[in-house]
Amino acid sequence: MIRTVDLVIAGDGPAARAAAVSALRSGRRVLVVLGSSNARIARRLRRCLCKPSRSDGSQLTVMTDAAVVCVDGVDAVEAVVVRHARTGRLSAVNASAFVSFDRSSQSPRRRRMEANEPRSV
């Protein structure tokens, strides 16, 4: 399925949320791609973004358990390819802009805190 959005955001965090709220306030369509498969996190993120942007949510899509694998275009972003982790299926998205907020943008303190959290195997 090919969809069209104005902005694709990979990741989560304060900067990602601010970018999404700003885009939603200006009437842009936003796709947020999260690596987490937790549906509760996606619902909370939708509420967190829709309330300050005064959006009804129709312009926001949150895709969970996925990762951006390719961004392509000539002189500008034109397409983003997203891989669904569970199935390996690829989805193409026509997009005007792409922003990535990965772990490298987190503070060293935050990374240490996450590294010390127990993880299930």
pLDDT in tens, 35-70: 888 888 888 888 888 877 777 778 899 999 999 999
Q: Quote the CA–CA distance of 95 and 4 in Å, as a whole number.
A: 6
Q: In what order do the strands lie in the sheet with 60-63?
A: 60-63, 30-33, 3-11, 90-101, 79-84, 66-72
Identify the band that residue 111 occupies on the pLDDT scale cut at 50, 70 and 90.
Answer: low
The structure's pTM equals 0.78
Whose tokens are 């842009």? That residue is: 28
Domains of the chain: 3-116 (3.50.50.60)
Distances (CA, A) of 3 to 8, 16, 31, 74, 101: 11, 21, 10, 19, 22
The secondary structure of the chain in percent helix, strand, coil, rounded to multiples of 5, reads 30, 35, 35
